[in-house]
Chain A
């Protein structure tokens, strides 16, 4: 196994810059997930590491040795493609054995290895099928087997679960994580699904427009997003963002739209000093950190129910607070008709504050 070091990597196609001055270190035996919207440059980064693309600038190092000019074959990495790229005319067994052929394994050795991985992935029944005869999930496993049959320096995975339906995807998430722990190997995993990132990664690297936004554990990126993008991208129901201004003498945050005003926490009072423009802040609060109640109380915001979305284990209620819309998670029993007046309370201790100009987090 190896660690991967990416040193201010830049890759541009013509005049479009896919990856921009990206630096990132992946520990040996770490499961690192790189997450971002489509076109963020995730896949390009991965392909540069694999040697399928030649970086325009910067370097990729395995265990500190520079990989420039080393062919993909010689880098000895495993790569799982989004649509699996199983060799259509080879049977499953031949597909999996293919990397071993290149390494001049004897028939017996190859046999043994193939059996070992297919057992592990519970596809040993499919050995003499052809790819098109397999379901999406099975193809997925064969692709994994082909990667796992040898001991590559690192596993590179390009959105391997995107083509599966959601039930299967949930299964494979836990499966992949188990495999990585059992094999005890380095995973560099790329996805556009924040749920996969949160649930699988030891650490998560958030990428947008070719630039690295934040690297950290689940807790760090979820609880302490470094900027507005990370805050909005991570989390299954989008964080609420409210434009507001800080009023120093009142020590309160006031809505720009003037619909509300809330006392800032002690910590906020300190942090806001970091920005110059106190009139231009963004308050971020997650739907689960907002409480809603039909009956009005004091120091609470008034609002009107817009839409209720029951999800079974919880509801998401959209409440119109003046001109702004606030999403709130409630227990499933909590059902309200559109138009009903409600009052809501933010747990300010868990709120986030962002600079309205730089969009950097103030806390």
Chain B
């Protein structure tokens, strides 16, 4: 008590000390510009500016090799690139090939992945270890994955074919040298690498479903089907949507795996739009035309992306 009064007295005596903080002049407006500008500049310069550039190029007959840096002097041909492209049956085949890859791949990955998630969504020994381990493939470099599967899918000495042929005694599959098997190979490898992605997201959704809902259902003697249909699905679906959109987009953009595993072949049987674009741009160096294809490709991406981002934001809003 007493010493407190002394303390109080002393404090009263010593004049109140205001803070001496630095950077007071730096108000929030200034600060936010300071924080934001570097990021925005980099992105504008490296991501947006080139896009605009290529938009311009898509109206020219420019070719990097032929008239290297002198792109300003490239002949302006207006919409002709687009005209030729849209008339060209090639492009449409490429889109078909792409779709023929995207749809089955995402479907398989989704069913497989969600199934695994349902299986693993219970507590058992080593749960976290197992779930983490099976996630490894999606973190690996697609090039390495592609190369190594190429090794495993060899028809003569590949291990997979060994099982097919010598263990199950079926006739050999020419994975990389026949059209249909080549496409199946792509689906297979992408499934191997990206199913974990679906598993991860599905598990998140499943474990977020409050346990007491199932308990209530038990007390009401609900069927397993009711629980799945009325409790599990509705609560997990938003996350599943996100997962699927992500996969749709990535498989649509897929370049590296195709490039490494099949190189678009045999024939053109697996040459999807990205590979096609690449070959036009850096095989035959028709830069202008390639830019055109790029922009046609973008239409689809932008649609998917804006949808995806809307869902993501929604998710955020709900989580917050």
Task: Please give, as numbers and ranges, the residues of chain A lying within 8 Å of B16 by CB-CB distance.
Answer: 76, 151, 153
Q: In the complex, what residues of A have CB within 8 A of residue B17's CB? A: 103, 105, 150
In the complex, chain A residues whose CB is within 8 Å of the CB of B12:
151
Pair A102/B11 contact, Cβ less than 8 Å: no
B8 is an interface residue with CB less than 8 A from chain A: yes
On chain A, the residues within 8 Å of B4 by CB distance are 116, 120, 182
Q: Inside 8 A of A102's CB, which chain B residues have their CB?
A: 19-21
Per-residue B-contact encoding for A42-75, CB less than 8 Å = 1, 0 else: 0000000000000000000000000000010110
Asked if A74 contacts B20 (CB within 8 A), the reply is no
B24 & A73 in contact (Cβ 8 Å cutoff): yes
Chain B residue at minimum C-beta to C-beta distance from A105: B17
In the complex, what residues of B have CB within 8 A of residue A107's CB?
none
How many chain B residues have a CB neighbour from A under 8 Å?
A: 13
Task: Tell me the A139-178 residues at the B interface (CB within 8 Å).
Answer: 150-151, 153
Inter-chain CA distance A98–B203, complex, in Å, is: 43
User: Closest approach, in angstroms, between the C-beta of A198 and any C-beta of chain B?
Assistant: 28
A103 to B21, CA, bound (A): 8
A89 at interface, CB cutoff 8 A = no
Contact among A73, A104, A105, A183 with B8 in the assembled complex (CB-CB below 8 Å):
A183
Nearest B residue to A182, CB-CB: B4
Report how far A105 CA is from B19 CA in the complex, Å: 10
Q: Shortest distance in angstroms between A80's beta carbon and chain B's nearest beta carbon? A: 18
Scoring A residues 109 to 128 as 1 if CB is less than 8 Å from chain B, else 0, what string do you get? 00000001000100000000
Report A189 CB to chain B, min CB distance, Å: 21
B18 at the interface (CB under 8 A from A): yes
B residues within 8 A CB of A76?
16, 18-19
Within 8 A of B (CB), among A281-310: none
Is B7 an interface residue when CB atoms closer than 8 A count as contact?
yes
Kindly report which residue of chain B lies nearest to residue A150, judged by CB atoms. B17
Q: How many chain A residues touch the partner (CB < 8 A)? A: 17
Across the interface, which residues of A come within 8 angstroms of B19, CB to CB?
73-74, 76, 99, 102-103
**Chain B residues with Cβ under 8 A from A104's Cβ?**
20
Complex CA gap A150/B16 in Å reads: 9
Q: A-facing mask of B15-56, CB < 8 A → 1, else 0?
A: 011111100100000000000000000000000000000000
Taking the closest CB of chain A, its distance from the CB of B24, in whole angstroms, is: 6
Q: Which residues of B contact A153 (CB under 8 A)?
A: 16
Nearest residue in B to A76 (C-beta to C-beta)?
B18
B18 touches A103 (CB 8 A): yes
B14 smallest CB distance to A (angstroms)? 9
Residues of A within 8 A of B7 (CB): 116
Question: CA separation between A22 and B24, bound complex, in Å?
Answer: 29
- Residue-wise, chain A 182-200 has the 8 Å CB interface mask toward B (1 for contact) of 1110000000000000000
CB-CB < 8 A to B8: which residues of A?
183-184
Residues of A within 8 A of B3 (CB): 116
Supposing A120-B4, A151-B16 touch, asked if A73 and B21 sit within 8 A by C-beta, the answer is: yes
**A153 vs B7: C-alpha distance in the bound complex, in angstroms?**
17
Question: What separation, in Å, do the CA atoms of A120 and B21 have in the docked complex?
Answer: 28
Residues of B within 8 A of A184 (CB): 8
A71 x B20 contact (CB < 8 A) = no
Complex Cα gap A105–B18 (Å) = 11
| Contact assessment for B11 and A74 in the assembled complex, using a CB-CB cutoff below 8 Å | no
Q: How far is the CA of A116 from the CA of B24 in the complex (A)?
A: 30
Q: Are B18 and A71 in contact (CB under 8 A)?
A: no
A interface footprint on B152-183 (CB within 8 Å = 1, 0 otherwise): 00000000000000000000000000000000
Bound state CA distance, A75 and B2, in angstroms?
Answer: 31
| Residues on the A chain within 8 Å of B20, using CB | 102-104
Report chain A residues within 8 Å CB of B18: 74, 76, 103
* Neighbouring A residues of B11 by C-beta, 8 Å: 151
Q: How far is the CA of A120 from the CA of B4 in the complex (A)?
A: 8
B15 to chain A, nearest CB (A): 10
Chain A residue nearest to B1 (CB atoms) is A182
C-alpha spacing A326/B277, complex, angstroms: 81
Name the residue of chain A whose CB is nearest to the CB of B6.
Answer: A116
A74 to B20, CA, bound (A): 9
Residues of B within 8 A of A116 (CB): 3-4, 7
Q: Chain B contacts of A74 at CB under 8 A? A: 18-19, 24
Alpha-carbon distance A249/B24, docked complex (angstroms): 71
Q: Within the complex, what minimum Cβ distance (angstroms) separates A97 from chain B?
A: 14
Encode A84-112 as 1/0 by CB contact (under 8 A) with B: 00000000000000010011110000000
- Looking at A99, A116, A183, the one whose CB has the most chain B CB atoms below 10 A away is A116
Bound-complex Cα distance A76 to B3 (A): 25
Min CB distance, A222 to chain B, in Å?
Answer: 33
Bound: A116/B21 CA distance, A: 24
Docked CA distance A9–B200 (Å) = 50
Q: A153 — nearest CB in chain B belongs to which residue? A: B16
Bound complex: CA of A71 vs CA of B20, how far in Å?
Answer: 12
Question: A130 vs B4: C-alpha distance in the bound complex, in angstroms?
Answer: 26
Closest to A116 in B: B7
Contacting residues, chain B, for A99 (C-beta < 8 A): 19
Report B-chain residues with C-beta under 8 Å of the C-beta of A71: 24
Instruction: Give A215 Cβ to nearest chain B Cβ, in Å.
Output: 29
Per the bound structure, the CA–CA distance linking A324 and B17 in Å amounts to 61
C-alpha spacing A116/B20, complex, angstroms: 23
Residues of B within 8 A of A103 (CB): 17-20
Q: A67 → chain B, closest Cβ, in Å?
A: 14
Query: What's the Cα separation between A260 and B8 when bound, in Å?
Result: 61
What 1/0 mask marks residues of chain B from 117 to 157 whose CB sits below 8 Å from any chain A CB?
A: 00000000000000000000000000000000000000000
The distance from the CB of B171 to the nearest CB of chain A, in whole angstroms, is: 65
Known: A102-B20, A105-B17, A116-B3. 14 other contacts (CB 8 A): A71-B24, A73-B19, A73-B21, A73-B24, A74-B18, A74-B24, A76-B19, A102-B21, A104-B20, A116-B7, A120-B4, A150-B17, A151-B11, A182-B4
Q: List 7 A-B contacts (CB under 8 A).
A: A76-B18, A104-B20, A116-B3, A120-B4, A150-B17, A151-B16, A184-B8
The 6 closest A-B pairs by CB, nearest first: A102-B19, A103-B17, A116-B7, A73-B19, A151-B11, A103-B19
